[in-house]
């Protein structure tokens, strides 16, 4: 028995889903969208390259929800996710978010039609090149991602993406990022759900028990940066430190990733804007190699040098102000770091002193206990000797009341 060309199931009777219109062997949906090629397949569905026959064969992407669920309950949940993805995408309008064009049900199947993005996802690109990306490139992409995440988090109602990872970040031919696959994104107004949908290594701890907020997307951005900077998969439920794998990565970028991937949400950046500012400060030294060379000089010398270069047309005044402001922040951060280190050293000395006193007191207690135990043993031994002597004298009185034995021994 051959498989049905319409639904794929083996049966001789007419297909229960009805016949789909075909053109040149390709399936036509809604009499409009012609499926041309298979682009990929994931846990929730299949993605096809297609064209819109109503709009001059405009390229588009058709996403079909999988239909091989064993339980009706699982199917209903998947349909709910699919419909929510369509609803979320229909309300978001941003250059870095793939646009939805249509959503429909046909022959018991569910479909999403979206813009076609000419390009590849970052995961596939890294695997093809066989090496991690330059730090400056990763910082540039991360700033773009911050921009779109900030738009989503500031939306009314806010939208939490919850599935940020390299394979869901498309890069078009103009080096612009596009977020795809909003299958588990949700508006905050729907309240906390108990959906345990995670991507190992990229999802934060709180998402494993169904809790997520804007800081969860920040964590995923941090792990994504780690992957792009090192070419290594991030360790699940563990802070990421790219500098430990690639020593050429700047310390500032490494600290940003570490903070973003903190296991405690309260220790991460509390907003995308806060992380964006940190990334901007990371990218500044890359645009000013001379600034790094002058970093050892004092603020006055640096200001004079930058001003001279600016007047010569080498640097703009805008960059001069930005560089000077950055250097000022560096000095402040350095002073704060020194103060913190001094405070921590003082606290450590205090704890060591207290520990030493405790050890000394414990030693004294042990010595006193030993002395008392020794005295007690000596007293006990003396008491036992006295008792034995008294007992011996008593027995002598009973056996020789007249003292004859004593006199005889003296006589002998």
At residue 195, the pLDDT reads 61
- How do residues 280-325 score in pLDDT, each as one tens digit? 999 875 444 544 554 555 555 555 555 555 555 544 445 445 555 6
At residue 193, the pLDDT reads 55
Per-residue pLDDT averaged across 99-127, rounded?
A: 95
Quote the tokens at residue 270: 């509390």
- In a 13 Å sphere around the CA of 41, the CA atoms on its Cβ side amount to 4
Sheet of strand 100-106: strand arrangement: 21-23, 26-29, 33-41, 45-52, 58-65, 109-115, 100-106
Q: Is 213 a catalytic residue?
A: no
Q: 3-class SS at 64?
A: strand
Give the dihedral of Cα atoms 320, 324, 330, 335; nearest 10 deg: 170
Q: Give me the catalytic one of 52, 147, 154, 163.
A: 163
Helix, strand, coil proportions of the chain in percent (round to 5)? 55, 15, 30
At residue 29, the pLDDT reads 96
Global pTM exceeds 0.85: no
- d(CA 412, CA 396) in angstroms, rounded, equals 19
Per-residue pLDDT averaged across 180-191, rounded?
A: 72
- How do residues 336-362 score in pLDDT, each as one tens digit? 766 766 676 677 667 666 666 766 776
Q: How confident is the model at residue 11 (pLDDT cuts 50, 70, 90)?
A: low
251 membership: H or E segment, kind and range: helix 251-260
Q: 3-class SS at 61?
A: strand
Sheet of strand 119-121: strand arrangement: 119-121, 169-172, 177-179
For helices 317-399 and 299-311, what crossing angle results, to 10°? 160
Q: How confident is the model at residue 110 (pLDDT cuts 50, 70, 90)?
A: very high
Give the dihedral of Cα atoms 235, 212, 281, 173; nearest 10 deg: 80
H helical segments located in 36-160: 72-91, 122-129, 135-153
At residue 287, the pLDDT reads 47
- Report the alpha-carbon angle 318-147-331, nearest 5: 45
For residues 167 and 203, the answer to whether their CB atoms sit within 8 Å is no
Please report where in the chains the tokens 């000077």 appear, as a residue. 324
Residue 355 Rama label (left phi>0; alpha psi -120 to 50; beta)? alpha
Computed over every residue of the chain, the mean pLDDT equals: 81
410 membership: H or E segment, kind and range: helix 404-411
């Amino acid at each position: 028995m051959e498989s049905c060309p319409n639904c794929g199931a083996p049966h001789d009777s007419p297909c229960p889903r009805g016949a789909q219109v075909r053109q040149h062997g390709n399936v036509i949906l809604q009499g409009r969208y012609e499926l041309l090629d298979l682009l990929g397949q994931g846990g929730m569905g299949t993605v096809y390259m297609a064209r819109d026959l109503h709009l001059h064969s405009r390229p588009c992407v058709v996403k079909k929800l999988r239909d091989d669920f064993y339980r009706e309950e699982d199917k209903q949940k998947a349909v709910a996710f699919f419909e929510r993805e369509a609803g979320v995408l229909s309300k978001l309008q941003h250059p870095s978010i793939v646009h939805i064009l249509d959503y429909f049900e046909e022959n018991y199947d569910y479909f999403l039609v979206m813009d076609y993005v000419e390009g590849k996802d970052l995961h596939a690109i890294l695997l093809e090149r066989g090496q991690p990306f330059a730090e400056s490139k990763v910082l540039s992409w991360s700033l773009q991602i911050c921009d779109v995440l900030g738009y989503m988090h500031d939306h009314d109602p806010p939208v939490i993406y919850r599935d940020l990872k390299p394979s869901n970040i498309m890069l078009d031919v103009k080096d612009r990022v596009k977020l795809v696959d909003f299958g588990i994104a949700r508006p905050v107004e729907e309240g906390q759900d108990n959906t345990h949908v995670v991507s190992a290594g990229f999802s934060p701890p709180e998402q494993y028990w169904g809790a997520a907020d804007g800081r969860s997307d920040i964590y995923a951005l941090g792990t994504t940066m780690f992957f792009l900077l090192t070419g290594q998969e991030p360790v699940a439920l563990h802070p990421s430190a790219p500098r430990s794998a690639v020593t050429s990565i700047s310390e500032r970028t490494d600290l940003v990733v570490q903070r973003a991937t903190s296991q405690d949400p309260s220790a991460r950046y509390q907003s995308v804007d806060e992380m964006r500012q940190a990334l901007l400060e990371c990218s500044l030294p890359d645009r000013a190699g001379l600034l790094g060379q002058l970093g050892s000089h004092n603020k006055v010398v640096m200001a004079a040098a930058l001003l001279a270069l600016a007047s010569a047309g080498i640097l703009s005044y805008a960059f001069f102000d930005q560089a000077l402001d950055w250097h000022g922040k560096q000095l402040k951060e350095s002073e704060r770091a020194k103060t913190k280190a001094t405070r921590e050293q003082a606290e450590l000395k205090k704890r060591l002193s207290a520990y030493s006193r405790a050890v000394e007191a414990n030693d004294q207690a042990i010595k006193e206990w030993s002395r008392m135990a020794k005295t007690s043993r000596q007293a006990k031994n003396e008491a036992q000797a006295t008792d034995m002597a008294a007992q011996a004298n008593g027995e002598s009185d009973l056996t020789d009341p007249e003292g004859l034995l004593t006199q005889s021994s003296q006589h002998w």
